[in-house]
Structure 1
Amino acid sequence: MKVWSALLISMLMMAPVMEANARNQPCSKSMGGVSHCKDGKFVCKNGKISKSKQVCKM
């Protein structure tokens, strides 16, 4: 019972961290992540320009 309780508590504590990481990425996993920066915009690894309002300085 203690093991399950510890597992449940650790999973609940990790949920906000995972959500915050997902929210702050300009290119999603399906887009392959960030490849490079062009004219202040993020270019994803699949070649598309991110619609993020963040300005990149890579």
Structure 2
Amino acid sequence: MKSRMMSLFAVVFVVMPISQAQAKNTPCSGKMGGVSHCSKDGKFVCKNGKISQSKKTCH
């Protein structure tokens, strides 16, 4: 039983940082509220009204 619990904790600690890193690498993540729409010049407009600093472009 202890080995199963240890395996579960190991999986949680390995997966958790990956998902946090992915969240930080998406346009308009966190306090920006997510992507609202794309501007005419291909920039991400966030739900809070600000333009994302992302180097990626949207269509």
Counterpart position of 2:51: 49
2:24 alignment partner AA: R
Q: How does 1:1-58 map to 2 (within 5 A)?
A: 1-38=2-39, 39-57=41-59
Runs of 4+ in 1 over 3 A off after TM superposition: none
Percent of aligned pairs sharing the same letter: 53
Q: Which runs of 5+ in 1 are unaligned?
A: none
The Cα offsets for residues 11-35 of structure 1, whole Å up to 9 and x where unpaired, read as 1331353034213311122110000
Q: How many residue pairs were aligned?
A: 57
* TM-score under structure 2 length normalisation: 0.77
The CA RMSD measured in Å over matched residues stands at: 1.6
Q: Which runs of 5+ in 2 are unaligned?
A: none
